[in-house]
Amino acid sequence: VNLLVRSSGGNLSSPIMYGLMHEDINNSGDGGIYAELIRNRAFQGSDKFPVSLEAWSSVNGATLKLHKLAKPLSAALPTSVNVAGAKGKIGLANSGYWGIDVKIQNYTGSFYVKGAYEGFFTASLQSVLTKEVFGSVEIASKSVQDDWVQHSFTLVPSKAAPSSNNTFAITFDTAGLKGEDRSLDFNLITLFPPTYNSRPNGLRVDLVQAFAALKPKFLRFPGGNMLEGNTISTFWKWNETIGPLKDRPGMAGVWDYHLTTGLGLIEYMEWCDDLQLEPILGVWSGLALDGAYYPQSKVDEAVQFALDELEFLTGAVSTKWGAVRASLGYPKPWTIKYVEIGNEDWLAGRPTAYDTYKKYRFPMFLKAFGQKYPDIQVIASPSVFDDMVIPAPAAGDYHPYLTPDQMVASFSKFDRLSKQNLTLIGEAASTHPNGGKGWDGNLMSNPWWGGSVGEAIFLIGAERNADRVIGATYAPGLRNLNRWQWGMTIVQHAADPALTTLSTSWYLLGNHPLAKTLPVTASSGGIGPLYYVAGTGEKGTGVFKAAVYNATQPVPVSVRFEGIETKGLTATLTVLTGPENPYGTNDPFTHANVVKETKSTLTAGEGGVFDFSLSRLSVAVLETEKK
């Protein structure tokens, strides 16, 4: 294939072409990027997920019982655990999110207790198998009979544990109990390792770093289905995810577990701040996953709820919600440039609910945001590919969950978008094998190399049109290897950071952002089996991105960049290849990484031509030295 990258023409690229999407699925928030180590820390629950002692066990024969006391810790956290026992040091232990990583580092924690007790509490980290204690700390009791008292501590293990099969325990000496009932009540027991940027209530360092390696430019949150909620009254209520943890009731998650919402609106914004991500904020549109929706007469309520959320984030301290933000310690307003109205409103309750979105729900939001926040880019949750006419300048959101063949067949999909059809690719992944049953079958249980190449070709197609594509992101972004609903993910993790594994090819494309795309003329060969895009990198370099699909032989490629057709010019060629079997997948447990990356320096020959060849199922980026 002989290609000439022209020096003019083409279009500007999106400054936020690659990003992240987050909702709590696959224990990606609780038990994932939210660094809290204690599972079921406040015995939260709902009709859908009744309160339980999940992850808790007794120490030294203590009796653990859940109660709703007349005087709870807070209205948001009404259930606490009563710990009783006859003699000696008793308490309760937590197994964490399927283990706890123990290193010689500061663990900061706290718990609330109610009950008269004189003496000390012991907080400790120990092995499940050998009972070896890696670290403990004594905390003087301030506990009293009739009130809840918070006890805070720092625990520094003297030894790192050989595995993450550990528990965290709090014990106390029954000899110090002064109340008649000879027991203590506990609630909101938390423990954090060091967090990213040392944020209190912050994020897990290795997972943020894994995301940072993808060079993301935006974060779309909080969903995804999580935003919609299971029923019309259980959507993601932003105002219940802010403030002290004791005032956050959590919510019935949509992915088979209750959510603490410890990772709340402010924590999402801090995540954006820390990685310099543009927030793409999803606001609830009045649709639930069970298909229920707000009638027109109630949509104003949902609109106001969203406008309040915007005021909370961006309003001056003199505004009602800006003042609330300031009272929580955040006087400086954030900036929000993108707001998405709902999530996949074309799907739940179809066709009736979708009709209401087209007829009045979206128009009412659009009007209200246009009036109050005219500079915000409003995004509809369907795209023009979902049978919706989206009035410019509003954009749409397209979620291709496809087979690799379908991804490749979609290469030219965005060529057909007009300048009036601005589109976000707010979720995308190869989810089903070629020739399978599609959505009537199962999702693949792991991201696989052939799927990644399909995604890469789809993304290259999107990048060719990045003046009409806001950006693209994989979903779901994280998967806890112990409990997950969707196997597809870009980062897999468990309690042990050694198991954190990056999958697939997105990082390569995201690591070479284009400032501008440039037309490419083929003097021989063309699109398929080589798919490509070219342009100018953000630092003025020449960039050529390509992937090969459905080829039996390596594809020879010659590329010239018009205007820098200099013999001797050098460029770096990075090529990702996978295993012979396209279903090969990374395995964190064996540390098998099926994706092989090779980097080489190429020197342009006569006429500035770079010659190389790309094998079947490969993804590559050629980037010249600075012009």
x/- string (CB under 6 A) for ligand AHR, residues 436-475? ---------------------------------------x
Kindly state the number of chain residues that form the binding site for ligand AHR, as judged by CB under 6 A. Answer: 12
Cβ atoms of residues 269 and 279 within 8 Å: yes
What is the C-alpha to C-alpha distance for residues 142 and 114, in angstroms, rounded to an integer?
10
**Is 224 one of the binding residues for ligand AHR (CB under 6 A)?**
yes
CA distances from 421 to 199, 236, 364, 460, 574 (A): 39, 28, 20, 18, 33
Which of 267, 344 has the CB closer to ligand AHR? 344
Residue 325 three-state SS: helix
Which of 126, 489 has the CB closer to ligand AHR? 489
- Cβ at position 226, least distance to ligand AHR in Å: 7
- 443: tokens are 């999702």
Q: Which stretch binds ligand AHR (CB under 6 A): 220-228, 241-249, 280-288, 599-607?
A: 220-228
Containing 188, the helix (H) or strand (E) segment is strand 183-192
Q: Residues 3, 14, 23, 478: which binds ligand AHR (CB under 6 A)?
A: 23
**Is 24 one of the binding residues for ligand AHR (CB under 6 A)?**
no
Which of 204, 399 has the CB closer to ligand AHR? 399
**Is 390 one of the binding residues for ligand AHR (CB under 6 A)?**
no
Reported residue count of the chain is 627
Question: Quick one: which of 71, 143, 82, 68 has its CA closest to 113?
Answer: 143
- Cβ at position 622, least distance to ligand AHR in Å: 32
Which of 32, 578 has the CB closer to ligand AHR? 32
What is the C-alpha to C-alpha distance for residues 143 and 186, in angstroms, rounded to an integer?
11
What is the C-alpha to C-alpha distance for residues 86 and 254, in angstroms, rounded to an integer?
41
**Is 223 one of the binding residues for ligand AHR (CB under 6 A)?**
yes
Q: Which stretch binds ligand AHR (CB under 6 A): 186-194, 219-227, 506-514, 614-622?
A: 219-227
**Is 252 one of the binding residues for ligand AHR (CB under 6 A)?**
no
CB-count exposure of residue 48 (10 Å: 0-12, 13-18, 19+) = middle
Q: Which residues on neighbouring strands pair with residue 479, listed in sequence order?
A: 492
Asked, as a colleague might, if the bond just before 249 is cis with ω within 30 of 0, I would say no
Instruction: Report 515-544 residues binding ligand AHR (CB under 6 A).
Output: none
- Cβ at position 379, least distance to ligand AHR in Å: 13
Q: Which stretch binds ligand AHR (CB under 6 A): 7-15, 90-98, 221-229, 282-290?
A: 221-229
Cβ atoms of residues 93 and 59 within 8 Å: yes
x/- string (CB under 6 A) for ligand AHR, residues 484-503? --x-----------------
Which of 238, 474 has the CB closer to ligand AHR? 474
Q: Which residues on neighbouring strands pair with residue 185, listed in sequence order?
A: 82, 114
- Cβ at position 569, least distance to ligand AHR in Å: 42
Containing 58, the helix (H) or strand (E) segment is strand 56-59
**Is 403 one of the binding residues for ligand AHR (CB under 6 A)?**
no
- Cβ at position 26, least distance to ligand AHR in Å: 9
**Is 343 one of the binding residues for ligand AHR (CB under 6 A)?**
yes
- Cβ at position 255, least distance to ligand AHR in Å: 8
What is the C-alpha to C-alpha distance for residues 235 and 288, in angstroms, rounded to an integer?
7
Q: Residues 95, 225, 618, 624: which binds ligand AHR (CB under 6 A)?
A: 225
- Cβ at position 485, least distance to ligand AHR in Å: 8
What is the C-alpha to C-alpha distance for residues 142 and 118, in angstroms, rounded to an integer?
8
Residue bearing tokens 């012991």: 122
What is the C-alpha to C-alpha distance for residues 119 and 175, in angstroms, rounded to an integer?
9
- Phi then psi for residue 350, to 5 deg, are -65, 140
Containing 11, the helix (H) or strand (E) segment is strand 11-12
Q: Residues 476, 513, 582, 608: which binds ligand AHR (CB under 6 A)?
A: 476
**Is 558 one of the binding residues for ligand AHR (CB under 6 A)?**
no
Q: Residues 30, 101, 427, 623: which binds ligand AHR (CB under 6 A)?
A: 427
Side chain identity at 549, as an amino acid letter? Y
End-to-end CA distance of the chain: 24
**Is 341 one of the binding residues for ligand AHR (CB under 6 A)?**
no
Which of 343, 383 has the CB closer to ligand AHR? 343
Which of 224, 608 has the CB closer to ligand AHR? 224
* H-type alpha helices, 379-470: 404-409, 449-463
Strands 338-341 and 218-221, sheet pairing? unpaired
Residues at the contact surface with ligand AHR, assessed by CB under 6 A: 23, 25, 223-225, 343-344, 399, 427, 475-476, 486
